[in-house]
């Protein structure tokens, strides 16, 4: 089994399939194998993912350049991860579950929580949280 996977700014997968199993393939069938591009970023555009989409997923989609398209990609790829986290932080702040309910102009502005922050916070050494503190400072949340 050979599979290619991209999980980064975008997301997609491909795999090697026997040409006889590729019913929709209309190319050269003399070769034994064909590469199938799943284009799975568009999975869910038909509503198949509606049951797992959150209010945050819907917000990201509604405010994207292509609403209703590439829904799976918007739910898992790096291009949208920072904004997804920001939306959760905003809701938790507004619900007074984080930061004593005191956000910042930077936190409340769309696009200000970068995906790189997720990696930086996740890579913090246990007990130090230096990267997390730095991110909070950059977002004007030094009071947290």
pLDDT average, residue stretch 69-89: 96
Task: Judge whether residue 21 has pLDDT over 80.
Answer: yes
DSSP state of 102: -
What CA–CA distance (Å, rounded) separates 101 from 54?
A: 22
Question: With b meaning 16 or more CB within 10 Å and e meaning fewer, what string describes 44-54?
Answer: beeeeeeeebe
Q: What are the tokens at 141?
A: 């949340």
DSSP state of 114: -
Task: Judge whether residue 30 has pLDDT over 80.
Answer: yes
CA dist list (Å): 38 to 12, 41, 52, 122, 136: 7, 8, 21, 30, 38
CA dist list (Å): 111 to 82, 106, 114, 115: 8, 9, 7, 10
Q: Could you state, in order of their start, the residue ranges of all structural domains in the chain?
A: 1-38
pLDDT average, residue stretch 88-114: 98
pLDDT average, residue stretch 23-43: 92
């Amino acid at each position: 089994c050979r599979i290619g996977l991209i999980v980064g700014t975008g997301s997609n997968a491909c795999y090697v399939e026997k040409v006889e199993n590729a019913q929709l393939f209309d190319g050269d069938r003399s070769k034994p194998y064909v590469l199938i591009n799943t284009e799975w970023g568009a999975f869910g555009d038909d509503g198949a993912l509606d049951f797992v989409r959150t209010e945050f997923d819907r917000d990201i989609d509604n405010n994207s350049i292509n609403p209703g398209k590439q829904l799976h990609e918007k739910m898992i790829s790096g291009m949208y991860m920072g904004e997804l986290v920001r939306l959760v932080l905003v809701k938790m702040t507004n619900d007074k579950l984080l930061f004593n309910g005191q956000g910042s102009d930077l936190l409340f502005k769309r696009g200000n929580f970068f995906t790189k922050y997720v990696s930086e916070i996740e890579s913090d050494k246990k007990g130090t949280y230096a990267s997390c503190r730095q991110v909070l400072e950059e977002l004007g949340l030094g009071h947290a």
